[in-house]
């Protein structure tokens, strides 16, 4: 209802602006914008790419090329002499706002760029043969037209950003709703497992390069990718990261110097052990801050709810840009699932989905994310992994499905296969593109006969 009111207001204002501008002025402005579209696009994106924050989103060859073309098209359509339906123009501005929200381009930066576009168009008008009165009317028309478009774009941007913030907070609440006591024990065990390997390595005098840093251990990946969401802004989190850096610095830099000295390695081991104990203490305090209340899971499979996917993908994309470490997504579809429901009823189908969820979860690492994406579709976000490794994970999961029978009742089991699409993050700032790549690869896997994995070709 609110959207319809906004649309009506936009249409009324748009028609007023068009009617108040003389036809010959609108025709001249349209011609100038068409002739100068490439220059205007360059002005806008040179400004955007001069900003460090924006460069993280836009400095990608495909995006850069496509956005330049889109900007030129947007300007030409906005000032076209042959006017389109104002309601369609409104919808297009809303779509642009939604895309900006999705890739999280700072709104203030877009508005500054738009002001530069208006200033540039005004400059081109001054260079024309317009008289003073006509020049004022033309400048007013350009300003009002762009402000109308930007108002619609901004409203849509704000609405979508609010949705994202709510989903982001919802994911945090879901994560906090896990059984925190059990999760604390799991992470303590993972931390101790790493410490044991390091201490044994010190005793065995293995090469320093063979000792895995804590940040690349199972515990480290959980801390980097999940704890940062669950315990966002908790002071212990930063303290844990600081202590980890200190432990790793002691382990790597001082271990080399300690070789050959009878007492030094023992002292170093005690320091590392002390550091691990402090990390355990901080970790306990981190978990103690929160209450274990279960909420937000998919009721049937107990997997993450799909609405948390934007939060996870946006965070992983930002992390990948910062660390230059790729990640990937798998989109799995149970083959011939409708036939399972038809032959064994929805009860049998539900049993298969529950077992499929368990199988997929058991086939990935503790730092990865598993979502129920659709009816019989499961999406996995694999962190810190390249495309080839992700494909191997997909193949391992597919083979598990192919080799194990699944219960459809207390007395009956059937074979269930799965098709998988694999896509890797390539720097594109819109997470929807990555999902579409995985979906296209999944479609190819199904079209090629199912029970197979396909890599995205883009």
CATH architecture type of domain 304-455: 2-Layer Sandwich (3.30)
| 348, 422, 427, 431 from 434: Cα distances, Å | 32, 10, 10, 5
How many other CB atoms sit within 10 Å of the CB of residue 105?
22
pLDDT at 294 (0 to 100): 42
pLDDT at 171 (0 to 100): 67
Question: CATH assignment of 2-174?
Answer: 1.10.490.10
pLDDT tens column, 355-397? 999 999 999 998 899 999 988 999 999 999 999 999 999 999 9
| 184-218 b/e (C-beta count within 10 Å ≥ 16 → b) | beebbebbeebbeebeebbeeeeeeeebeebeebb
Q: Are strands 377-382 and 418-424 parallel, antiparallel or unpaired?
A: unpaired
Structure tokens at 286: 């981190």
pLDDT at 325 (0 to 100): 92
Element (H, E) at 330: strand 328-334
Structure tokens at 189: 């065990």
CB 335 within 8 A of CB 416: yes
Q: Which residues of the chain have pLDDT under 70?
A: 1-3, 53-54, 56-65, 162, 165-179, 202-212, 250-266, 268, 289-297
Q: Angle at the Cα of 434 (from 175 to 457), degrees rounded to 5? A: 140
Q: Is 335 in a helix, a strand, or coil?
A: coil
Whole-number Å distance between alpha carbons of 218 and 241? 15
Whole-number Å distance between alpha carbons of 144 and 290? 51
Kindly report the three-state secondary structure assignment for every residue of 191-242. HHHHHHHHHHHHHHCCCHHHCCCHHHCHHHHHHHHHHHHHCCCCHHHHHHHH
CB 360 within 8 A of CB 304: no
Whole-number Å distance between alpha carbons of 87 and 10? 8
Q: Where are the domains of the chain?
A: 2-174, 180-288, 304-455
Q: Angle at the Cα of 403 (from 401 to 405), degrees rounded to 5? A: 75
């Amino acid at each position: 209802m609110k959207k319809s009111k906004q649309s009506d207001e936009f249409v009324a204002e748009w028609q007023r602006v068009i009617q108040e501008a003389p036809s010959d002025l609108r025709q001249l402005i349209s011609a100038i914008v068409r002739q100068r579209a490439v220059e205007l696009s360059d002005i806008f994106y040179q400004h955007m790419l001069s900003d460090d924050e924006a460069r993280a989103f836009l400095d990608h060859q495909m995006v850069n090329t496509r956005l330049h073309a889109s900007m030129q098209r947007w300007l030409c359509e906005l000032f076209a002499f042959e006017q389109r339906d104002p309601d369609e123009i409104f919808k297009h501005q809303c779509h642009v706002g939604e895309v900006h929200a999705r890739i999280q381009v700072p709104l203030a930066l877009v508005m500054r760029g738009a002001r530069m576009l208006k200033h540039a168009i005004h400059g081109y008008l001054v260079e024309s043969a317009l008289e003073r009165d006509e020049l004022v009317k033309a400048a007013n028309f350009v300003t009002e037209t762009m402000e109308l478009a930007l108002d619609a774009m901004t409203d849509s941007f704000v609405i979508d950003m609010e949705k994202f913030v709510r989903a982001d907070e919802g994911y945090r609440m879901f994560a906090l709703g896990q059984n925190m006591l059990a999760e604390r024990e799991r992470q303590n065990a993972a931390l101790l497992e790493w410490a044991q390997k390091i201490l044994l390595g010190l005793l065995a005098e293995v090469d320093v390069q063979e000792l895995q840093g804590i940040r690349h251990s199972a515990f480290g990946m959980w801390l980097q990718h999940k704890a940062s969401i669950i315990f966002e802004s908790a002071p212990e989190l930063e303290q844990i990261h600081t202590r980890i850096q200190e432990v790793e610095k002691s382990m790597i830099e001082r271990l080399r110097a300690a070789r050959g000295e009878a007492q030094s390695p023992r002292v170093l081991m005690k320091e590392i052990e002390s550091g691990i104990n402090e990390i355990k203490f901080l970790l306990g305090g981190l978990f103690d801050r929160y209450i274990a209340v279960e909420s937000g899971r998919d009721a049937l499979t107990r997997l993450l709810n799909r609405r948390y996917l934007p939060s996870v993908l946006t965070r992983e994309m930002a992390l990948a840009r910062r660390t230059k470490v790729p990640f990937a997504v798998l989109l799995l579809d149970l083959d011939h699932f409708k036939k399972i429901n038809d032959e064994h009823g929805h009860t049998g189908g539900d049993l298969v989905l529950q077992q499929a969820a368990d199988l997929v979860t058991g086939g990935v690492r503790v730092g990865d994310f598993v979502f129920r994406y659709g009816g019989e579709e499961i999406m996995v976000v694999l962190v810190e992994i390249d495309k080839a490794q992700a494909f191997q994970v997909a193949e391992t999961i597919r083979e598990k499905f192919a080799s194990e029978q699944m219960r459809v009742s207390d007395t009956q089991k059937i074979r269930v296969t799965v098709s998988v699409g694999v896509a890797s993050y390539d720097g594109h700032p819109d997470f929807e593109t990555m999902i579409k790549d995985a979906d296209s690869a999944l479609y190819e896997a199904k079209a090629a006969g199912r029970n197979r994995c396909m890599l995205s070709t883009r």
